[in-house]
Chains A and B, each alone.
Chain A
Amino acid sequence: MTTKSANSGSRTTQSGRPARLSLADWMPKLVMAPTVVTTIVCIYGYMIWTAVLSFTNSRMLPTYKFVGTAQYERLFDNDRWLVALSNLGVFGGLFILICLVLGVMLAIFLDQKIRAEGAIRTIYLYPMAISFIVTGTAWKWLLNPTNGIEKMMIELGFEDFRFNWLSDPDMVVYCLVIAAVWQASGFVMALFLAGLRGVDGEMIKAAQLDGAGIFTTYRRIILPSLKPVFFSAMVILSHIAIKSFDLVASLTNGGPGYSSDLPANFMYTHAFNRSQMGLGSASAMVMLGCVLAILIPYLYSELRGERHE
């Protein structure tokens, strides 16, 4: 018994040294214990708790009267939820796509031995330091149909210029895209710039000796080698999109009507403001499902990749 536990304590580190059981062997576990407990309780325990709530008819307070999948059925019968979900599709898709395109483009441009690169990079990236609440406030003002960009363009002489997306239920979701792209595209640029700097210089030289032009080199050699960065960026961006809550809260507050709601806002409204805890929990579980669908394949490939090293 004693030998066994001492062995497990020394398994990875002290090979061949006489086994010794002391406080030192327990120290690492002791230090990790609080994190282990909070992770099990506050992440996984709460996840299960919310899952349980989603099968009950809890309203303002949790009740444990199980109603099967009734909340999920209600959820997918709920027009507001369907709007939120399709908004997430449009918003998430465009946000990720534009951020990636813009980010890659800016990173490649900045990689051409640009003067004042540091300053320009700082300018592209500073929105990432700011809260979505501030970003939303700023864009709400810029996109304001009577005072913002529309008025500026009219005063510049474009009399017929109209830009009222913020008050148009069909277009308002694109306002979210604009603000979110402004905020996060610089970050994608930074990721790719870091990736570009890590590309093997020999490979590029070899390609250029073979007569490959700069465009070919990027298209055939450099960009394909940035696949991992591409996936990281995808995961981070889709994660930002799925949990976007503050941007909607400050830029549109879900309006007009509920035309710009996202699932995160739906969940908050129903769980906290409308006393629909069961329904809110069900919507949270669907959000979790979306995240896991993206995350598990990613983590799996990451961890498998690590084993190869």
Chain B
Amino acid sequence: MSNIAKRQTSTLDKVLRIALYVTLLAMALVYLAPFVVMLLTSLKDVEEIRSGTLLSLPASLDFYAWGKAWSGACTGGTCEGIAPYFLNSFQIVIPAVLISTIVGALNGYVISHWKFRGSNLFFAALLLGCFIPFQVILLPMARTLGWLGIANTTTGLVFVHVVYGVAFTTLFFRNFYQAVPAELVKAARLDGAGFFTIFYRIILPISTPIIVVTIIWQFTQIWNDFLFGVAFSGFDTQPVTVALNNLVNTSFGGKEYNVDMAAAIIAALPTLLVYVLAGKYFVRGLTAGAVKG
């Protein structure tokens, strides 16, 4: 009797198990499909796109659209492809990520181990600052960048990204350093070690995981930004997201979907690459910032 019951449940288990895998794989295909379609479209010529469907394979590997997207497509007024804007994005991302990470690390260190009167209140204020809709600061910031003489420059965008990125980087580092035993820092202070000595000797050497997480997070955020880019960049200093949007939305004559798709993939490539290479940390970073936040 009990044997039969066991056999029945195990067949049921097997069926459920198969259904589980089928569902998971089907969902994986759904998540993958848009990227596959983009890739396929970018490799077809315009005629093939018109005659085929989304998932039909290209007749031959043709990288014409990629070349044009990179250096020949027209965005707004000029026809230099998205290459210059791709480089703009790097010019913005690299300093902004470095500065916001360093400042965040020091802030997190202070908030978790060198508390002063009001530091907790300030942290709460900063936390709230993470979540404001940026529409609420756009106009005053535009005026400020004008006054500082860095409107429409990449320097201006670096400044903006640092100012609003520090809230997040501080949050990450603070959560991480909170787990460092206070006794460790206390003992070092009793030995006469100062603020920076403790930071370099004790805190920094154990910070690698959170530094990686923060850099990945900031890199993705800043690279993917559109709002600040479109509001504060000049014609020559647009980040790649803004250029891509212009490319896709301004069409003269026939629409070249293959070029659009190639440009979109190029714009997505750096963050995708970071994600594939360091995805484990990326997941950890996302959850660290959200669950603990």
Contacts and interface: CB of A to CB of B under 8 A. Distances in A.
Interface of A: 8-9, 11-14, 17, 24, 27-29, 31-32, 34-36, 38-39, 42-47, 49-50, 53, 62, 106, 109-110, 112, 114, 120-135, 137-142, 147-149, 151-152, 155, 182, 186-187, 190-191, 194-195, 228-229, 232-233, 235-236, 239, 242-243, 245-246, 249-250, 253, 263-264, 267-268, 271-272, 277, 280-281, 283-285, 287-288, 291, 295, 299, 302-303
A39 B125 contact: yes
A142 B54 CA distance: 8
A74 B269 CA distance: 44
Given A131-B268, A137-B248, A190 B241 contact: no
Interface in B220-238: 220, 223-227, 230-231
Contacts of B32: 123
Contacts of A263: 135
10 contacts: A28-B114, A44-B129, A112-B20, A128-B286, A129-B282, A131-B271, A133-B224, A142-B34, A236-B290, A284-B138
A149 B37 CA distance: 11
A46 B124 contact: no
A198 B293 CA distance: 16
Contacts of A235: 131
A35 B31 contact: no
Contacts, number: 271
Given A32-B107, A32-B111, A140-B248, 13 more contacts: A28-B195, A45-B140, A62-B143, A142-B34, A151-B54, A191-B287, A194-B287, A249-B245, A268-B135, A281-B139, A283-B135, A284-B133, A288-B133
A127 B275 CA distance: 10
Contacts of A245: 135, 226-227
B31 A191 contact: no
A53 B282 CA distance: 39
A131 B226 contact: yes
Given A35-B166, A134-B267, A125 B279 contact: yes
Nearest to B270: A129
Nearest to B122: A36
A131 B241 contact: yes
Contacts of B38: 138, 141
A39 B103 CA distance: 13
Contact of B275 (A12, A45, A126, A264): A126
B286 A34 contact: no
Nearest to A127: B31
B202 interface: no
B110 A32 contact: yes
Given A125-B283, A138-B35, A303-B124, A27 B194 contact: yes
B291 interface: yes
Given A50-B140, A131-B226, A195-B291, A242 B133 contact: yes
Contacts of B54: 142, 147-149, 151-152
Contacts of B138: 267-268, 271-272, 284
B186 A27 contact: no
A137 B274 contact: no
A13 B267 CA distance: 49
Contact of B272 (A49, A130, A268): A130
Interface of B: 20-21, 23-25, 27-28, 30-35, 37-38, 41, 49-50, 53-55, 103, 106-107, 110-111, 114-117, 119, 122, 124-129, 131-141, 143-144, 163-164, 166-167, 170, 182, 185-186, 189-190, 194-196, 220, 223-227, 230-231, 241, 244-245, 248-249, 257, 260-261, 264-265, 267-268, 271-272, 274-276, 279, 282-283, 286-287, 290-291, 293
Contacts of A242: 133
Interface of chain B, helix or strand or loop or mixed?
helix
B279 to A, nearest CB: 5
A141 B28 CA distance: 20
Contact of B34 (A36, A139, A287, A303): A139
> Which of B27, B133, B170 has its CB near the most chain A CB atoms (within 10 A)?
B133
Contacts of A127: 31, 34
Contact of A141 (B226, B260, B287): B260
B49 A35 contact: no
A43 B129 contact: yes
B130 to A, nearest CB: 9
> Which of B37, B143, B283 has its CB near the most chain A CB atoms (within 10 A)?
B283
A304 B244 CA distance: 44
B160 to A, nearest CB: 9
A39 B122 contact: yes
Given A43-B129, A129-B272, A24 B194 contact: yes
B65 to A, nearest CB: 13
B279 A138 contact: no
Contacts of A239: 131
A161 to B, nearest CB: 12
A127 B282 CA distance: 13
A79 to B, nearest CB: 20
Contacts of A195: 291
Nearest to A8: B117
